[in-house]
């Protein structure tokens, strides 16, 4: 009931809200994309490709899309099968492949943009630009902390390995 306990409540709820909203968001987008055979996960990849300022390797694409390599591989397999993207070998490095939108993907992307726009219009109905900016600023701060974890995770592992080794 006191103020400090309220702020604790906010902290307690935050992660749970994050998960709930993300799931509801995905569900709504998926529902509206269903006529296009696409899902949110697949659309995000196309979107990232369409807004990239240079050819992306799978590794780079995974990073900007915020997923792990194996997750991307499966999504790309599907998109490639449907003829929406293609993988090209990189001459300098035969391990790597760059990913490219096909011509077929372009019109689909435009249609889909409009659908997603529709979701956003309804979802953000009560939210001002300013509130959204503030929220996004918090997201970015939190994102940086997670990145810091990722960076230090290796160190932590090393320590454990160091201790564990005979």
Applying CB under 8 A, which residues contact a copy of itself? Answer: 7, 10-26, 28-29, 40, 44, 47, 66-67, 116, 119-120, 122-127, 129, 131-146, 149
User: Which of a copy of itself, DNA, none sits in contact with 36, Cβ below 5 to 8 A by type?
Assistant: none
Residues that contact DNA, how many (by CB under 7 A): 33
DSSP 103-137: TTHHHHHHHHHHHHHHHHHHHTTT--HHHHHHHHH
Q: Which of 74-112 are b and which e, b meaning 16 or more Cβ less than 10 Å from the residue's Cβ? A: ebbebbeeeebbebeeeeeeeeebbbebeeebeebbeeb
27 binds DNA (CB under 7 A): yes
Shortest CB 64 distance to a copy of itself, Å: 10
Q: For DNA, which residue of 6, 14, 23, 148 counts as binding (CB under 7 A)?
A: 23
User: Which of a copy of itself, DNA, none sits in contact with 15, Cβ below 5 to 8 A by type?
Assistant: a copy of itself
Q: Which residues contact 68 (CB under 8 A, 6 or more apart)?
A: 62
Torsions phi, psi of 39, nearest 5? -125, 175
- Site mask for DNA (CB under 7 A), range 71-110, x = bound: x-xxxxxx--------x----xxxxxxx------------
């Amino acid at each position: 009931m006191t103020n400090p306990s309220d702020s604790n409540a906010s902290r307690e709820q935050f992660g749970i809200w994050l998960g709930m909203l993300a799931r509801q968001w995905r569900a709504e987008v998926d529902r509206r994309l269903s006529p296009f055979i696409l899902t949110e996960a697949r659309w995000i990849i196309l979107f990232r490709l369409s807004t990239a300022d240079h050819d992306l390797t799978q590794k780079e694409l995974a990073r900007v899309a915020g997923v792990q390599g194996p997750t991307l591989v499966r999504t790309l397999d599907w998109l490639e099968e449907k003829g929406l993207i293609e993988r090209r070998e990189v001459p300098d490095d035969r391990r790597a492949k760059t990913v490219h939108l096909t011509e077929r993907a372009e019109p689909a992307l435009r249609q889909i943009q409009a659908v997603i726009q529709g979701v956003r219009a309804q979802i953000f109905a009560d939210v001002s630009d300013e509130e959204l900016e503030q929220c996004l600023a918090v997201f970015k701060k939190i994102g940086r902390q997670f990145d810091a974890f990722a960076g230090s995770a290796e160190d932590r592992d090393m320590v454990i390995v160091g201790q564990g080794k005979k």
